[in-house]
Amino acid sequence: MSPFAEQVTVDARPSLWARWPAWAGWAAAGWSLAYGLLGVFWALGGAGFPFGADPYSVGVSPLENASAGSLAPVIAVVCLSGVVVAAAMARTWPRGRAGIPSVWFGWAMAVPLAVGVPDVRPLMGVARLPLLAVGAPFGWPKGVSVFGPGMFTWPVLNQLLLMLGGLCWAAATLAYQRRRRHNCAHCGRGRGAAFWTTPAAAARWGRWAVGAAVIMPLFYAVIRWSWFLGIPFGVTAEFLRVEAEDTPDIWLAGAMEGTLAFGGAVLTLGLVQRWGEVYPRWIPSLRGRPVRPRTAVIPAAVVTLLITTAGLGNLRALTGGVYPADVGENWGTIAPGLLWPLWAVGLGAATLAYHLRRRGRCRSCAA
């Protein structure tokens, strides 16, 4: 266990986030009520149905052919039923084996909402924000915007709303599942806790997860940097020339995205390095102070969620015929994206290992 883990946990003041098991079920119920009412509105002919009519969802969305007449009633029934289930979870009812269907329902809501329905555009929008923040004062990269075609339109904002709902349902189900097993709802420890969740075990398998999570973004970065330098790695020289003629700053933007990926790989290493627990001396005002676990866990978890949805979207694009069948020598245009699901698994596991290793003593159960 990290020497700073207990200090960080014990010294922290109680907060709304620290009490998440108490309100997660009600948050899932509230989200389900709001989205269920939207389903009723769309089923009655209301405007704004976000699925099916989005031209940028073709080949990448599992709901690209959905219509309000067929899907909206399902949304209404499932979400309004979810209000009852989530409220029951919040009150830890039912108990024992009778609660198994509620657990199944909860995860069946959480996973599709969080990573099944969204596609690659939430990640694209988030990744472009730092590029524009750096380049905007200099007027580059030209033609790159978070408000371009298909980016932060209502269908994409709806995807972010679905991801929020998925997180609420995941938290509600996890807390309920832990209480059913008579484990601590906050940390999961108790008589049914698994051995692999101990700090020593997490330190061992976490190193392998970090290795996998570092390789994937480095591969992406190498490809993007090579194109910026005019090296046709994974593509033809003709491809580089034509794309540069159509969009002059495209490879500069790609190199910046590659730099972000490289930075992400370096930060991922911090999940198993000492500087991921104690701020290094070159960081002013923070040097020598312990890194709060959530400072690393929250950003890493958000990135894991985004690259999971993007990776699954890329796989759907491959099977849906979005990518040309004769990609051939231009394999570098799609190969990195197809590896993103593996990147997500590695980063998610590395983040979980870091959390397990550094969580320290639980304020709720003192374990």
pTM over 0.85: yes
Please give the average per-residue pLDDT across 120-136, as a whole number: 83
Q: Length of the chain in residues, anyone?
A: 367
Condensed to tens digits (0 to 9), the pLDDT of residues 299-342 reads: 999 999 999 999 999 999 988 888 876 778 899 999 999 999 99
Burial 127-139 (b: 16+ CB within 10 A, else e): bbeebbeebeeee
Q: What is the pLDDT of residue 56?
A: 84
pLDDT reading at 219 higher than 70: yes
* pLDDT class of 258 with cuts at 50, 70, 90: very high
Rounded-to-integer distance, Cα 95 and Cα 81, Å: 19
Q: What is the distance in angstroms between the CA of the first residue and the CA of the last residue of the chain?
A: 13
Q: What is the pLDDT of residue 14?
A: 59
Q: What is the pLDDT of residue 4?
A: 43
pLDDT reading at 44 higher than 90: yes
User: Which stretch of 32-36, 78-82, 128-132, 267-271 has the lowest confidence by average pLDDT?
Assistant: 128-132
Which of 46, 28, 41, 52 is CA-nearest to residue 155?
52
Condensed to tens digits (0 to 9), the pLDDT of residues 73-90 reads: 999 999 999 999 999 999
Which of 356, 335, 301 is CA-nearest to residue 115?
301
